[in-house]
Amino acid sequence: YHLHIHSLLFIQTVLHISIFNSLLTAAHGLSDEQREFQKVAFDFAANEMAPYMAEWDHKEIFPVETMRKAAQLGFGGIYVQPEVGGSGLSRLDTSVIFEALSTGCVSTTAYISIHNMCAWMIDTFGNTEQREKYCPDLCSMEKFASYCLTEPGSGSDAASLLTTAQLKGDHYILNGSKAFISGGGDTDVYVVMCRTGGKGAKGISCLVVEKGTPGLSFGKKEKKVGWNSQPTRAVIFEDCAVPVANRLGEEGQGFTIAMKGLNGGRINIASCSLGAAHACVQLARDHLLVRKQFGETLSNNQYLQFRLAEMATKLVASRLLVREAATALQENRPDAVSLCSMAKLFVTDECFNICNQALQMHGGYGYLKDYAVQQFVRDIRVHQILEGTNEVMRMIISRSLLTES
């Protein structure tokens, strides 16, 4: 009952964000078309996700049907080309959509963003046969995808991965295991980085492995702090035979493909953090306006007013950086990789701090699961860790500063 009442309040909050607060909706600078699908995404978040986000978290439900509904709006392959079922939108459009969806459920939106990244990798690096075979079902979310790079012994140093793919006739025989795979076990299509050659990045290839392939199995479902509406499992290969026809690009191109996918992935995950911060600023504002202590509402307290102002300022600054990075990637600018890393580093850190501050402003209520703010905090914490940790982002940015003239 409590959760239900809270959900209703939360729907109102999200609608309020989308309709009334132009500073927070950030429609400024967007075209009419972008404003249209931003509104569609906000409405979907408010009506189809926000009422259920606490339940999906609590019961660890992977909301397959909701995601398929999102796919009907074109969100299953946002930046995949239309001839294979995608929406053919830009990276900036994609960011606007993921920010809006995340106000309704960060965890579900973040999974959708990984799925989109995989579909884009197949669309971009696959041949016509591969694109036609996989992309339409991924764009409609009839099938779901997972991105498999990390291994138990290779995280930040991803190019040291050990999963081997030995060529035997017209198949590769895979052996090894992947750790922390989002969607793992529940998804249908695994985009797997594995070693076909010698040590280092150049020995890595990218294969599409279908669920049901003999020799493919999964570890136990991990218990996590957040991101509970999507399963995370190890993906295990034991003499798993995958047709050579399932290789994306050439042998040795796999690491490049993986990193190109992640450039967009980093903008997307930063956009999911933006959506969380966006929702939390609004939740904090609403709480300050109604909660009374020392004989007046908290909104009359100048310390809290200033903190709220800082949160909103950092949110808007974060959004500008994400949108700048998205535009740079779209235009294939030389600074795109650094900007994507800067956006991921700055925005996932700042937005975590915004959400955490919003929780603080709720006092003890912020620590109760009846209030959405704690879930946003739990869900976006991992954005500082995955798709390259924020330390790795610093490595990428400084490397480019120090080596390029």
Ligand X SMILES: Cc1cc2nc3c(=O)[nH]c(=O)nc-3n(C[C@H](O)[C@H](O)[C@H](O)COP(=O)(O)OP(=O)(O)OC[C@H]3O[C@@H](n4cnc5c(N)ncnc54)[C@H](O)[C@@H]3O)c2cc1C
Residue of the chain from 309, 391, 398, 399 that contacts ligand X (CB under 6 A) = 391
Question: Binding segment for ligand X among 49-57, 60-68, 127-135, 378-386 (CB under 6 A)?
Answer: 378-386
| Residue closer to ligand X, measured from CB, 326 or 382 | 382
| Residue closer to ligand X, measured from CB, 98 or 227 | 227
The number of C-alpha atoms within 13 Å of 355 and in the hemisphere containing its C-beta is 29
List the x/- string, 232-271, binding to ligand X by CB under 6 A: x---------------------------------------
Question: Binding segment for ligand X among 19-27, 224-232, 237-245, 277-285 (CB under 6 A)?
Answer: 224-232
349 neighbors 384 (Cβ within 8 angstroms): yes
Active site residue 387: yes
As measured in angstroms, the least distance from the Cβ of 230 to ligand X is 8
| Residue closer to ligand X, measured from CB, 18 or 263 | 263
Residue of the chain from 122, 382, 393, 397 that contacts ligand X (CB under 6 A) = 382
Contacts of 391 (CB under 8 A, 6+ apart): 156
How far is residue 363's CA from residue 295's CA, in Å, rounded to a whole number? Answer: 17
| Residue closer to ligand X, measured from CB, 94 or 150 | 150
How far is residue 141's CA from residue 203's CA, in Å, rounded to a whole number? Answer: 32
Give bridge partners of residue 217 from the DSSP assignment.
Answer: 236
Segment 163-222, which members bind ligand X (CB under 6 A)?
180-182
The one-letter amino acid at 134? Y
- For residue 376, the tally of other CB atoms under 10 A from its CB is 32
Residue of the chain from 149, 257, 277, 315 that contacts ligand X (CB under 6 A) = 149
One DSSP character per residue, 62-89 reads --HHHHHHHHHTT-SSTTS-GGGT----
Segment 126-145, which members bind ligand X (CB under 6 A)?
none
| Residue closer to ligand X, measured from CB, 278 or 378 | 378
Contacts of 222 (CB under 8 A, 6+ apart): 180, 231, 232, 233
99 neighbors 273 (Cβ within 8 angstroms): no
Question: Binding segment for ligand X among 55-63, 279-287, 354-362, 385-393 (CB under 6 A)?
Answer: 385-393
- Interface with ligand X, residue 301, by CB under 6 A: no
Query: Which phi and psi angles does 223 have, rounded to 5°?
Result: -90, 125
Q: Using CB under 6 A as the criterion, which residues of the chain lie in contact with ligand X when the complex forms?
A: 114, 146-150, 155-156, 180-182, 224, 227, 232, 382, 385-389, 391-392
Q: Catalytic amino acids?
A: 387
